Structure 1
Amino acid sequence: MHIIFGMMADGSAYPDFPGDEDGILDGCVVGPLGLLTILETKLGLSGPPVTPVVRITAWQKKLQEACKGSSRFWSASLAADPFSTARLILSWRDALVEAGWHPGSIANPPERLSDMAAAEAALELMPLGRADRLRAVMRRLEAGGRVAIEKLETVEPIEHLPPGWRRLAELLAEGGTKVRQKAIQSPVEASSDLGRLHVFLKQGTLLPLEGDASVLMLKSASEISAAEAVAEWVACDMDGGTGHTVVIAQDGSTAMLDLVLARLSQPVLGVSSASPFRGALQVLTLAFATVWKPFDADRFLSLLTLPNPPMRRKPAGILARAVSSEPGIDGREWKRAWALIEEWALEKGEGDKRKTAKLLDGVKAWADAKQIARFDHSMPSNEAKEIADRVKTWAATLAGEDRDPLLMCVVGAAKALSEALNKLNESPVSKRQIEQMIDASIAEGLGNPEHRAEASRLRAIGTPGALCGPVKRVVWWNFAGHEPAAPPFPWYRSELAALEAVGCCPERPSEAARRQTSYWTNAALAASEGIMFVRPAVIAGEEVGSHPFAHLLAPLFDHEKRRNLIEAKAEAVQEYEVHQLAARTINRQAGTPRATPVQQVSWTVPAIPDLLAELVESPTSLETLASCHLKWLLKHVAKLDAGRIRGIPDSRRLIGNVAHAIAQEVFLPGPVPPGKDARRKAEAVFDRIVEQIAAPLLKAGGANDLISARQRIPKAMEILADILSADGWEIVGTEMEVIHDFGDGLRIKGYTDLRTTHAIHGTGVIDFKWTKSDTRRRREIKDGRAIQISAYSNAVEPGRTLPAAYFMLGQGTLLAEENSPLAGDPVRTDRNLADTWSAVAGMHRSWRDMTVSGVAASTGLDGAPMPDDLVLVPPKKSNPCEYCDYDGLCRVSQTA
């Protein structure tokens, strides 16, 4: 068997196998995990893998056990943050084991090494990690085990391998395996720029680059510009000379480059970085996030709106609508949603009680009020294990026979978490501990399962250290930023002396850094025809610095006269039809420019008398019509919306909803309560209502808004109660429906926030508003454009114009026109409510007639057609168009 071994060769590596491109039998290119797997199989040591989270929790228990009756160097840290402490000290322990540490081998160990030995001896043996597996293989080889490996070639010089792996190579050599360093460097003519680069790296001799295109620094302002240039460079190679070109994806992903390659009909590279944030992997996090107090409506909504939610789509959609309307538990929308879900279960169950119950149980397991928002800062371990097992079962079921990679990754993560909780054997388990365990379970993440490499002689690897053989060309993609820093070296000199005395020599950071530098050097020395360093200034929206290897190469590129020959701008490829780049000629065709859409003041619409005949207006839709005819037509007649993903309302809307709900409980039909009683009642129900319909305000980020609402809403209830009782009003009801047909095609439907009655003035209507300022509503009344309250004042008791007012909850002001019996804060007006409604009815008739004639007007634009007799003229475009979803159609925001 012929093996090429590199410390960075687990995963994507080049080449795929030893030998030439025709293939080889019984040979492979592997990294540490791959080599261990081969050796364990040959030596009969194979066993099930153990996930990091299980090992960390097992080590945590050992640390805790070692602390009983003794003070250890980790005791204080372990008490404050057990999981993070265990993870850190486990990394120290594994590094020692890999370097050859045996507990008890040091006669009089320093304190920290003595404590580490005590932890190792506590409880049962540690689940095997990479270091333990390495030592087990070495013990078997030392005992005479044979592995039948003919040749082992190392990418790194053998003396640069970490101590444990260096010793493994020696043991294999002693067993008859030919062990040597693989020749990666390519022979290059010293007269070329690439040859000068090689001479500089090998000998340190500085020979200025001449600019023969064999070495090029390609700079760009952004990653997309770099991708365009590199993809064009690849695509113009019509003779197939791309063969044996390796792309080093410095950040572990070729996603941006692949997008452009695919557009140019080139095979994609398919390298994607592993991420713990991919779709289904978040179910494990979301499943736990919903059980903590306060209720996390954002996370719960994210769970419900996943492409494959953990419950049936219909009930998930019903609950999502409820939570996005009233984010809380057990509010009105929540109860209405569960009533609909029960109806759905009965329909799906087709009369079978067991089937119906099973459907409901499937939803309740994830979304029952008794299942979510139960725990404060900890939960019983058996409860946590049940949640993990539920996620595992869901993912395994959904994965089915196809064994979707992403879902199987979820299965593995949930299983690991369940095993870790079982290994921890603690009850209760803190919220922080569970979150840390979840992070550790999904930390490795998964590459994009849909991002696959296509057959090509252009190859990609995720790190320079994975380049394990000579290659013609190297393209170093995203040659910027910094390599991950080496972990800190924790050992004191006295501890190192004690360890080295017994043959345990942990690798020092300087040795790891030297090996890392050799990876960069080897990547450049492996190229025989050319190397291109691709250096964007911005990657993923963030500015990046120079790569450390760039600092080493700086003397070669520090040549003002030839800089234009050894450096290039990626954007130049987009500027010219013919452009030379890295010894290739890129030919591009100029595109035909297209005229951009222009502003359009009117639109031709089809005859829609049937839609208009069925249309029922609301005060809100009439306000829209008064601002823009086109918007009204699209939104309220055609029902065309922006198609946004469901989301949680902002704090302003949440507080407004809370105020409306509190008013319903404070102002019951009958006499108006005294102001102080109204305030006490509002304060008493405030917390319950917030939990039911505005739970996001209870999160840390909502503290300011919550405090403000807690002070201002009860105060507003007191002020309103005092105003109404002082003027002799009584309460008729809250949230009362209003439906009326005014004739001539105008029908109204809505809900009055508060309806009152008076012995002299009769019925009154009050509409609640929560805003930062009352300026807008005050101006509406003054200008005779208070459409909302004018609609209600004329629709509640047809034939009469009732007193109506806005009550501004934030300011505690009752705004109404002068001489209105509801005018707590009178506003002098140009048009009373009766005249306003007459103007609204006329406006509706005029715009309706224009619609029937087949014309829609973009009234936010100058020159838009308008009816001649219009009283309510749309305001200037800066007002109604500021937050419009349809401005992309009329192009109101486009500069003329």
Structure 2
Amino acid sequence: MRIEFGWSLDGAAWAEGTGAHGTARMGPRALVQLLQNRLGLTRPAVEPAVRVAQYLRLIEEHLAAASAPFWPARSFAVDPWSTARQLLHWRDAAVETGWDPAAAQGPLPERLAALRDLERAAEVGVTGTLAPCPADDLAEVIALLEGEAATWPLGIEELALHEDPQALPGMWPQLLALLDRSGVRCTIVPAASGGAPQVTVVEAQDEWTAADVAARFLAAEPAGHEDSVTVLASSDTDVLDRALHRRGLPAIGAVDPSRDRAHHQVLGLFLDVATAPVDVHQLAALLDLRVLPGADGAAEPIGLVPAAARRRLLRALGREPGVGGPAWREALAALEESGHDTAIEAARVIDRLVGDPLPADGLFPPALSSRLDWLAERLRAVARGDGDLLASLTQVQVLQQVLAMLDPGTPLARRTLQQIIDSCGSSGPSPRARREVSDWAVCSRPAQLRAAGGTVLWWGPSAADAPRVLRWDPAERRALHAGGGRVPDPAGITALEVEASLAGLRRARTVVTVLPGRRCEEAPGPSGLLAHLEADGTGDRVDPAALLHDGRWELAGRSLPVTVPAQVRPAPPEETVRRTAPAPQLLPTRLSYTQAASLLSCPHHWALEYALDIRPAEVAVLPTGHRMIGTLLHAVVETLVQQRTDPALGGAPLTAPSGEEIGAVFDALVPQLASELELPGRRAERADVRDRAVRSLGELFTGTARAGLRITGTETRFSVPLTLPLAGGERTVEFVGSRDVDAVDAEGRRIVLDLKWSRSRTRYGDLYDTGEAIQLASYAWTVAQEDPSAAPADVGYFLLRSGEFISADPALDPHRRTPMDVDEAWRRMREAITATLDEVASGTVRVGCRELLETTGLTPEAGWDARRRATAKAREAARAAGSLLVENHCASSEHAPLCGLTGDWR
């Protein structure tokens, strides 16, 4: 076997040779692994996180037994994981020089003294207290070659060295001398004659423009004979691969690994849900997590949580964004009755996680590890050999192994736990990191180039090309030398890599370098290697626009015809009406106020969401913000009324609950209905909402009592038949919903109050004063239908945020408003619903959001003030015509792209 050895050749392709095999090209790590195999020294791989945990345990044991001060003790007390990882890194670097920490004698610098103290307590080996690193492997190979294996056949005929052995750092000169003594012929490859390639640098403004340049170069035909082309991918080629695929060319596939791949998020997301306080948005993300595609194209993707449990639990969170409430318990009970064993078990596990989350000061390793058992079993059950899921499973198993090595009685800090999770998951490959068969060679490091006399397309050189070397101070260097170490000179190590890289580049005849101006929103640093080439060779820097000449694109002797298309700006659809065949099947059988408001404001939106049931996923509409707070305060009012209702009085007493009572109910309902307010960093917001709730709800109960109103019910459900005189014949639908607050005065007159959490203090007053508060009108109509003999009900709003009433009753609202004509408002609403449903049944569906803009002469880009003024004028015009205009808010909904309100033309 012939081996070509170079300090920068790890990962290089084999060189061409004669006979059945070529020449193996190896770097330091590959050669050590080959020798381990030949000498019978191979061992199972150990995850880096396990080694850090082993070293952390050694530090803990040393601190418990040591009487003298330990140099990194203070750092270890603050951040144990990072300190152990850094000390282990220094230990491995010291061993790599050839220094034996355990045998070191005499006084040492503090850093080396700490490493020596720990090494004397460690047993390095498979069954020892510390797993070996690559430097330990090298030392073991050297020790065996110096002893009994000196005459063993290694099966290596020749070792062709790219560097002088004495220029290599650490123990490498010793190893190469031993191999020579063992019969391996070691020769030094003569340096290639110093050529000066023709260098052309294309400076693009962004990565996408640079990708087009590189892809065009590979797609273009050379002007004459060209020996070979090699792509040197110094940067991630994801964007370049897409440009190649657009031209029907194979991908390079040199996509950087990352810790941010989807399968690396499973473990962290699971443990986030298992620790207090529970974040319902993280819980929803865990429930909705899909880990594998379906068995065929039409099948639903496989989730971490089985579909039956996922749907019910997400639906419960959509009703109540918290855990432990009625909606959550109903979902669990329904699952128990379903008989789906896998879904039932998953729901039970999730319920235990969120029902008894680990507190911040209770993250004990055994408790964490036990919560991971179900996750490991589930990943194992659904993996089906998928590499990403197996990587997730490995991460879980490594974390459990690490947790088993830590002190079971010492809780972990959240920061330490996250550091351990990150360490347990290695950088994962991208699903697009798949190289495809191509006519050109590909490498990722300049030293691996074999383009003798050919062309190199260098993609994305940057300052990251420069090697990083651990530095020792002079005292440490002397101590390492005294202990048998051979400390590399940082400049010498850098020179090894730089010279190898330049040698590879100088073997080419032409180097075409493409520089992305910005990558990931950052400008890459200048490349020292490119600066060397430009200083030595000939060439220039060009702009991508300068490569176009009379309909042809030309670069470094390659060209191809190009066509510059005319710029076209997409325009929005011209029609604001969707016309189909008559569609009576779209007519509703049930109608709520929310549906009716959507129907009147934008029939197209209503048809999509209610008639066709096109809705966003449950995880995308989890209640949050104003909607969540409004639901929470509605529930606080409902709970207080239920607690205070006296059947003998026929409702709640005419006294207000105390601020302490309101606050206690608020605190009890937050975990169930607004658990995100319990998260770290939300304390001020929670306190503000609580203070407002106590003040405004106190005013609600005080004001109603002062006006002599006895609250008789909250969230009162109704279902009343509503007959609509449609053109195709009368149609009766069920008008359903719930009234927020029902009350009666001393004379028995009914009053309905609607509770609103809103920043606007004028919107609902304006609706009331103009007679367009159709929600109040619909509530008054349902009261009349329930008791036709009773007097018409009074209506009003209560603003939860500001604690104000909007009513014609001067005891509630001092503005002396004129009573709203609810019968007239209901008539207009009923007629508008009838007319709109007639249009839908005939096959005409208006896009109300865009129709309003066009009738008022506005564009989709119009500002809020312009829209507000235009809407006010349109409302006045509709009111004067005896009609009704309901303002739409489609632009903030998920249906805006389908309505044509947003798109590429904006």
For normalisation by structure 1, the TM-score amounts to 0.86
Are the structure 2 counterparts of residues 2 and 363 from structure 1 closer, same or farther at C-alpha, using a change threshold of 3 Å? farther
Task: Give the corresponding residue for 2:239.
Answer: 256
1:342 is displaced (CA, Å) by: 1.5
Are the structure 2 counterparts of residues 172 and 280 from structure 1 closer, same or farther at C-alpha, using a change threshold of 3 Å? same
1:4 aligns with 2:1: no
Are the structure 2 counterparts of residues 889 and 382 from structure 1 closer, same or farther at C-alpha, using a change threshold of 3 Å? closer
1:750 is displaced (CA, Å) by: 1.3
Task: Give the corresponding residue for 2:796.
Answer: 805
Deviation readout 1:208-233 (Å, 9 max, x if unpaired): xxxxxx42111212211111221122
Q: Is the 8 A contact 2:752 2:796 kept in 1?
A: yes
Q: Which amino acid aligns with 2:95?
A: V
2:478 to 497, 501, 504: 497
Query: What is the correspondence of 1:778-793 to structure 2 with a 5 Å cutoff?
Result: 778-793=765-780
1:19 aligns with 2:16: yes
Task: Give the corresponding residue for 1:448.
Answer: 430
- Secondary structure in 2 matching 1:55: helix
Task: Give the corresponding residue for 1:616.
Answer: 590
Q: How many residues align?
A: 842
1:458 aligns with 2:440: yes
1:157 is displaced (CA, Å) by: 5.4
- Secondary structure in 1 matching 2:284: helix
The whole-number CA distance in structure 2 between the counterparts of 1:699 and 1:644 is: 21
1:812 is displaced (CA, Å) by: 0.7
Task: Give the corresponding residue for 1:304.
Answer: 287
1:94 is displaced (CA, Å) by: 0.4
Q: Which amino acid aligns with 2:213?
A: A
Are the structure 2 counterparts of residues 267 and 722 from structure 1 closer, same or farther at C-alpha, using a change threshold of 3 Å? same
Deviation readout 1:448-486 (Å, 9 max, x if unpaired): 245311111323333435446747222221234545773
1:768 aligns with 2:755: yes
Q: Which amino acid aligns with 2:114?
A: D
Any gaps of 5 or more consecutive residues in structure 2?
125-129, 292-302, 725-730, 857-873
- Larger displacement relative to structure 2 (699-708 or 131-140): 699-708
1:488 is displaced (CA, Å) by: 5.3
The whole-number CA distance in structure 2 between the counterparts of 1:240 and 1:797 is: 92
Task: Give the corresponding residue for 1:562.
Answer: none
Deviation readout 1:553-574 (Å, 9 max, x if unpaired): 56579x9xxxxx8323335668
1:814 aligns with 2:800: no
The whole-number CA distance in structure 2 between the counterparts of 1:465 and 1:74 is: 39
1:152 is displaced (CA, Å) by: 2.7
The whole-number CA distance in structure 2 between the counterparts of 1:653 and 1:398 is: 37
1:432 to 415, 420, 423: 415
Task: Give the corresponding residue for 2:140.
Answer: 136
Task: Give the corresponding residue for 2:308.
Answer: 314
Deviation readout 1:585-619 (Å, 9 max, x if unpaired): 1212455887644332222132121321x342222
The whole-number CA distance in structure 2 between the counterparts of 1:168 and 1:822 is: 97
The whole-number CA distance in structure 1 between the counterparts of 2:214 and 2:231 is: 10
The whole-number CA distance in structure 2 between the counterparts of 1:436 and 1:144 is: 43
Query: What is the correspondence of 1:254-653 to structure 2 with a 5 Å cutoff?
Result: 254-308=237-291, 309-344=303-338, 346=339, 348=340, 356=341, 360-368=344-352, 373-400=357-384, 403-430=385-412, 431-442=414-425, 444-467=426-449, 470=452, 472-480=454-462, 482-483=464-465, 486=468, 489=471, 491-518=472-499, 520-527=501-508, 529-552=509-532, 566-570=540-544, 577-589=551-563, 596-612=571-587, 614-641=588-615, 646=620, 648-653=622-627
2:85 to 65, 84, 87: 87
Q: Is the 8 A contact 1:655 1:770 kept in 2?
A: yes
1:416 is displaced (CA, Å) by: 1.9
Q: Is the 8 A contact 1:2 1:18 kept in 2?
A: no
The whole-number CA distance in structure 2 between the counterparts of 1:243 and 1:62 is: 58
- Larger displacement relative to structure 2 (88-97 or 660-669): 660-669
1:380 is displaced (CA, Å) by: 3.0
1:156 is displaced (CA, Å) by: 5.3
Q: Is the 8 A contact 1:735 1:753 kept in 2?
A: yes
2:155 to 148, 151, 163: 148
Task: Give the corresponding residue for 1:860.
Answer: 852
Q: Is the 8 A contact 2:753 2:798 kept in 1?
A: yes
The whole-number CA distance in structure 1 between the counterparts of 2:608 and 2:70 is: 71
Task: Give the corresponding residue for 2:73.
Answer: 75
Q: Which amino acid aligns with 2:286?
A: L
Task: Give the corresponding residue for 1:210.
Answer: none
Task: Give the corresponding residue for 2:746.
Answer: 759
Q: Is the 8 A contact 2:445 2:501 kept in 1?
A: no
What percent identity do the matched residue pairs reach?
A: 24
The whole-number CA distance in structure 2 between the counterparts of 1:470 and 1:218 is: 22
The whole-number CA distance in structure 2 between the counterparts of 1:46 and 1:360 is: 45
The whole-number CA distance in structure 2 between the counterparts of 1:739 and 1:567 is: 76
Are the structure 2 counterparts of residues 88 and 533 from structure 1 closer, same or farther at C-alpha, using a change threshold of 3 Å? same
Task: Give the corresponding residue for 1:121.
Answer: 120
The whole-number CA distance in structure 2 between the counterparts of 1:157 and 1:774 is: 82
The whole-number CA distance in structure 2 between the counterparts of 1:734 and 1:279 is: 45
The whole-number CA distance in structure 2 between the counterparts of 1:753 and 1:242 is: 80
- Larger displacement relative to structure 2 (741-750 or 569-578): 569-578
Q: Which amino acid aligns with 1:568?
A: V
Are the structure 2 counterparts of residues 631 and 360 from structure 1 closer, same or farther at C-alpha, using a change threshold of 3 Å? closer
Deviation readout 1:225-267 (Å, 9 max, x if unpaired): 111221122122389978743323323x321111121121111
Deviation readout 1:742-762 (Å, 9 max, x if unpaired): 211464221222222223252
Q: Which amino acid aligns with 2:590?
A: V
Task: Give the corresponding residue for 1:105.
Answer: 103
The whole-number CA distance in structure 2 between the counterparts of 1:607 and 1:119 is: 83
Q: Which amino acid aligns with 1:459?
A: A
Deviation readout 1:282-322 (Å, 9 max, x if unpaired): 21112211111101223222222121333322212322333
1:418 is displaced (CA, Å) by: 1.9
Are the structure 2 counterparts of residues 93 and 282 from structure 1 closer, same or farther at C-alpha, using a change threshold of 3 Å? same
Deviation readout 1:782-821 (Å, 9 max, x if unpaired): 33322222222222332575222222111111223xx347
The whole-number CA distance in structure 1 between the counterparts of 2:68 and 2:742 is: 72
1:228 aligns with 2:212: yes
Q: Which amino acid aligns with 2:175?
A: L
1:547 is displaced (CA, Å) by: 3.1
Are the structure 2 counterparts of residues 867 and 649 from structure 1 closer, same or farther at C-alpha, using a change threshold of 3 Å? closer
1:175 aligns with 2:182: yes
Q: Is the 8 A contact 1:6 1:466 kept in 2?
A: no
The whole-number CA distance in structure 2 between the counterparts of 1:783 and 1:166 is: 93
- Larger displacement relative to structure 2 (633-642 or 412-421): 633-642
Task: Give the corresponding residue for 2:864.
Answer: none
Are the structure 2 counterparts of residues 438 and 618 from structure 1 closer, same or farther at C-alpha, using a change threshold of 3 Å? same
Q: Is the 8 A contact 1:577 1:588 kept in 2?
A: yes
1:833 to 798, 822, 826: 822
1:500 is displaced (CA, Å) by: 1.0
Q: Is the 8 A contact 1:601 1:861 kept in 2?
A: no
1:278 is displaced (CA, Å) by: 1.8
For normalisation by structure 2, the TM-score amounts to 0.85
Are the structure 2 counterparts of residues 518 and 386 from structure 1 closer, same or farther at C-alpha, using a change threshold of 3 Å? farther
The whole-number CA distance in structure 2 between the counterparts of 1:301 and 1:762 is: 45
Q: Is the 8 A contact 2:273 2:354 kept in 1?
A: no
The whole-number CA distance in structure 1 between the counterparts of 2:28 and 2:703 is: 79
- Secondary structure in 2 matching 1:712: helix
- Secondary structure in 2 matching 1:100: coil
Deviation readout 1:398-435 (Å, 9 max, x if unpaired): 223xx222122223222222222222243344133322
The whole-number CA distance in structure 2 between the counterparts of 1:847 and 1:714 is: 42
- Secondary structure in 2 matching 1:277: coil
1:873 is displaced (CA, Å) by: 4.6
The whole-number CA distance in structure 2 between the counterparts of 1:508 and 1:693 is: 63
- Larger displacement relative to structure 2 (592-601 or 277-286): 592-601
Deviation readout 1:651-697 (Å, 9 max, x if unpaired): 33332222122122112244446766243222113233221222221
